[in-house]
Structure 1
Amino acid sequence: MQHTLQVQGMTCGHCERSVTQAVQRVDPDATVRIDRAQGQVVVESDEPRTALAAAIAEEGYTVAP
Protein backbone atom coordinates (compact mmCIF):
# COMPACT_ATOMS: atom_id res chain seq x y z
CA MET A 1 0.00 0.00 0.00
CA GLN A 2 1.27 3.47 -0.84
CA HIS A 3 1.05 6.23 1.77
CA THR A 4 1.79 9.87 0.91
CA LEU A 5 2.62 12.01 3.94
CA GLN A 6 3.16 15.76 4.09
CA VAL A 7 6.07 16.31 6.47
CA GLN A 8 7.30 19.70 7.65
CA GLY A 9 10.77 20.40 8.98
CA MET A 10 12.96 18.35 6.63
CA THR A 11 15.83 20.63 5.62
CA CYS A 12 18.79 18.37 4.81
CA GLY A 13 20.06 14.90 4.02
CA HIS A 14 20.26 14.08 7.72
CA CYS A 15 16.54 14.83 8.01
CA GLU A 16 15.81 12.48 5.12
CA ARG A 17 17.83 9.70 6.77
CA SER A 18 16.06 10.27 10.10
CA VAL A 19 12.63 10.04 8.48
CA THR A 20 13.63 6.95 6.49
CA GLN A 21 15.01 5.22 9.58
CA ALA A 22 11.90 6.09 11.59
CA VAL A 23 9.67 4.51 8.95
CA GLN A 24 11.89 1.45 8.68
CA ARG A 25 11.76 0.90 12.44
CA VAL A 26 8.01 0.40 12.00
CA ASP A 27 8.40 -1.64 8.80
CA PRO A 28 11.93 -2.79 7.91
CA ASP A 29 10.75 -3.73 4.40
CA ALA A 30 9.21 -0.33 3.64
CA THR A 31 10.32 1.64 0.60
CA VAL A 32 10.67 5.36 1.30
CA ARG A 33 10.90 8.15 -1.29
CA ILE A 34 11.36 11.72 -0.10
CA ASP A 35 10.85 14.99 -1.96
CA ARG A 36 12.31 17.45 0.53
CA ALA A 37 11.40 20.51 -1.55
CA GLN A 38 7.72 19.50 -1.56
CA GLY A 39 7.78 18.19 2.02
CA GLN A 40 6.47 14.87 0.77
CA VAL A 41 7.28 11.37 1.95
CA VAL A 42 5.94 8.44 -0.06
CA VAL A 43 6.03 5.11 1.72
CA GLU A 44 5.30 1.66 0.31
CA SER A 45 4.26 -0.35 3.36
CA ASP A 46 1.48 -2.58 4.68
CA GLU A 47 1.67 -0.81 8.05
CA PRO A 48 -1.09 1.71 8.90
CA ARG A 49 -0.54 5.33 7.95
CA THR A 50 -1.02 6.38 11.57
CA ALA A 51 1.89 4.20 12.75
CA LEU A 52 4.19 5.59 10.08
CA ALA A 53 3.16 9.19 10.84
CA ALA A 54 3.66 8.64 14.57
CA ALA A 55 7.19 7.30 14.01
CA ILE A 56 8.08 10.35 11.91
CA ALA A 57 6.54 12.71 14.49
CA GLU A 58 8.63 11.05 17.24
CA GLU A 59 11.71 12.23 15.32
CA GLY A 60 10.51 15.82 15.73
CA TYR A 61 8.85 16.44 12.36
CA THR A 62 5.30 17.67 11.83
CA VAL A 63 3.09 15.33 9.81
CA ALA A 64 -0.08 16.83 8.31
CA PRO A 65 -3.25 14.88 9.10
Structure 2
Amino acid sequence: MDRLLLSTPDAAARLNIGRSTLYDLIRSGALPTVKIGRRRLVAVDDLARYAASLQAAGAA
Protein backbone atom coordinates (compact mmCIF):
# COMPACT_ATOMS: atom_id res chain seq x y z
CA MET A 1 0.00 0.00 0.00
CA ASP A 2 1.37 3.40 -0.97
CA ARG A 3 1.69 6.05 1.70
CA LEU A 4 -0.41 9.21 1.39
CA LEU A 5 1.88 11.31 3.60
CA LEU A 6 5.67 11.44 3.59
CA SER A 7 8.11 12.64 6.21
CA THR A 8 10.14 15.68 5.22
CA PRO A 9 13.31 13.63 4.54
CA ASP A 10 11.28 11.23 2.36
CA ALA A 11 9.62 14.13 0.53
CA ALA A 12 13.00 15.76 -0.11
CA ALA A 13 14.35 12.46 -1.44
CA ARG A 14 11.30 12.08 -3.70
CA LEU A 15 11.96 15.53 -5.20
CA ASN A 16 15.70 14.85 -5.30
CA ILE A 17 16.47 17.99 -3.27
CA GLY A 18 18.06 18.59 0.12
CA ARG A 19 16.12 18.90 3.35
CA SER A 20 16.97 22.59 3.74
CA THR A 21 15.62 23.32 0.25
CA LEU A 22 12.44 21.45 1.13
CA TYR A 23 12.06 23.50 4.31
CA ASP A 24 12.54 26.69 2.25
CA LEU A 25 9.68 25.58 -0.02
CA ILE A 26 7.51 24.89 3.01
CA ARG A 27 8.36 28.24 4.61
CA SER A 28 7.58 30.13 1.40
CA GLY A 29 4.20 28.42 1.09
CA ALA A 30 5.09 26.73 -2.21
CA LEU A 31 4.65 23.29 -0.66
CA PRO A 32 1.85 22.74 1.89
CA THR A 33 2.27 20.36 4.82
CA VAL A 34 0.16 18.83 7.55
CA LYS A 35 1.17 18.41 11.14
CA ILE A 36 0.26 15.31 13.11
CA GLY A 37 1.51 15.50 16.65
CA ARG A 38 5.06 16.79 16.40
CA ARG A 39 5.60 15.45 12.88
CA ARG A 40 5.42 17.61 9.77
CA LEU A 41 4.30 15.58 6.77
CA VAL A 42 3.92 16.29 3.06
CA ALA A 43 1.06 14.81 1.04
CA VAL A 44 2.13 12.85 -2.02
CA ASP A 45 -0.55 14.70 -4.04
CA ASP A 46 0.98 18.04 -3.03
CA LEU A 47 4.42 16.84 -4.18
CA ALA A 48 2.94 15.88 -7.55
CA ARG A 49 1.18 19.26 -7.85
CA TYR A 50 4.41 21.10 -7.02
CA ALA A 51 6.38 19.09 -9.61
CA ALA A 52 3.67 19.75 -12.22
CA SER A 53 3.82 23.48 -11.49
CA LEU A 54 7.57 23.40 -12.11
CA GLN A 55 7.03 21.66 -15.43
CA ALA A 56 4.36 24.18 -16.41
CA ALA A 57 6.63 27.10 -15.48
CA GLY A 58 9.49 25.57 -17.49
CA ALA A 59 7.30 25.13 -20.56
CA ALA A 60 6.13 28.75 -20.50
Higher helix residue share: 2
Bigger Rg, which one:
2
Q: TM-score, normalised by structure 2?
A: 0.30
Q: Name whichever structure is richer in strand by fraction.
A: 1
Q: Which has the higher contact order (CA 8 A, sep 6+)?
A: 1
Structure 1 length as normaliser, TM-score? 0.29
